[in-house]
Amino acid sequence: MTTDRAAVAAVDLGAASGRVMLGEVDPDGVTLTEVHRFDNDAVQVADTLHWDVLRLYSQTLTGLRAALARRADLTSIGVDSWAVDYGLLDSGGALLANPVHYRDRRTDGVADRVVARLGADRLYRATGVQQLPFNTLFQLVAAADTPTLAAADRLLMIPDLLAYWLTGQVGTEVTNASTTQLLDVHTRRWATDVIADAGIPQRLFGPLRRPGEPAGELRRQVRSAIGADRPVPVTTVGSHDTASAVVAVPAVDGSFAFISCGTWSLVGLELAAPVLSTASRAANFSNEAGVDGTVRYLRNVMGLWLLQECLRHWRERGRPVELAAVLTQAARQPPLAAVVNPDDPAFLPPGDMPARLARACADTGQPVPDSPAAVVRCVVDSLALAHRSAVRQAAELADHEVTVVHLVGGGARNELLCQLTADACGLPVVAGPVEATALGNVVVQARAAGTVRGGLAELRALIRRGRRLRTYLPTAAGAEAWSAAAARVGLPA
């Protein structure tokens, strides 16, 4: 390692909020400072749910300006975001329309038609990606006859779109590309046969980049807008936020499972090679590209979206519920009184989440939660149950020993969820770091700049220094109750 201290900016866009973090890195550790945070609200226009990507870009510039005000010697900038969604550019490089939100209903029924035509086994062997109704493949097929797609010359995933606006350079980062169901899981190149047979124009898919590679330098206009008096590189990071989060998992060896817990819970393992068995496809696991050639073998669980939507619903109806207080009350509720399968498609769109949870409980003959505390307990028990099923299935399908579960991201603040996940899995849960995505983004930039060296083990050791983590040990009793609860909602025991 060198003795230099790098200052880099991590642009980290989540499905509910975005932030710009200033990361300062040297051989003794990583310091993060949040310099700007902003909401990321979906916008409904007529029948279509959009992302307000121009506002996200504007807020990104505000954050970069704040970062430079603190450290004028900024070494690099990296951008990460959620997966699957994209912007379409015309031949002159102009954005044709605001990106459509993955929770939009345009893909309803599309996955079944595409899979019937291309074949589930073939798709999985080629791309290794789980079937989710909003995968980029299905979004593009849903848009097949639209004027926007007809006019499009290039597709860019959300972080690549922002990087393009910052630098003028076009490229697609591979960890995010791997979520599209359009990337070859073996070669990590575009799956041209799948693209052609799905009827998607090949011209949309440009050069691929790997984490650590340069993505260009800030345009002159951008430098002027944020107060940079010199060229500043943009560095490709693990631009799928989960890829960056997994870099920051503070594991000491490979016998871990991870849960990157925010709006979604991404639950899985870090492997050296994909798992493409029929059983893996049936269990709906993804083989996504990780940093340094690794595979993120994982399954999406609906995550804290359920809780976020409950809180939003109560707030909009004049019954605001304070999260910390209701979690304390939920901890006193009877355990596993009512649970749901968080991945039921009924929970995907925005709406009256408490009513949907009540309906699901009633449909399975369980008590209907009758208070905010009971609803929240139902959500947290259900998430812990889904975490349990995913961890156990991943370990079995990959024949991979798991001795500890690392829960990173915003969910690491939720003490009840962490403890219940430990209880459900029967394994220690190490909670933190909360800012895993930003940390992973930052250390990949610092390594590219030469400030630190080494592989993932060295980067994780760097992140562990000075980081406060909390371990939740499983309680001895209750394994049979968790198995019974899983059976009630059709989750693997």
Hey, is 183 helix, strand or coil? Answer: strand
Active site residue 241: yes
Hey, is 425 helix, strand or coil? Answer: helix
> String of b and e for 246-264 (b: at least 16 CB within 10 Å)?
bbbbbbeeeebbbbbbbbb
CA–CA distances in Å: residue 92 to residues 95, 143, 152, 215, 281: 9, 21, 10, 19, 40
Angle between helices 305-316 and 353-363 (to 10 degrees): 120
Helix intervals (H) in 19-52: none
How far apart CA 31 and CA 420 sit, in angstroms, is 30
Q: Please pick, among 241, 343, 381, 423, the residue that the annotation labels catalytic.
A: 241
Residue 337: other Cβ atoms inside 10 A:
15
> String of b and e for 103-133 (b: at least 16 CB within 10 Å)?
bbebbeebbeebbeebeeeebbebbbbbbbb
Structure tokens at 48: 């279509």
How far apart CA 328 and CA 336 sit, in angstroms, is 16
Provide the annotated active-site residues.
Answer: 241
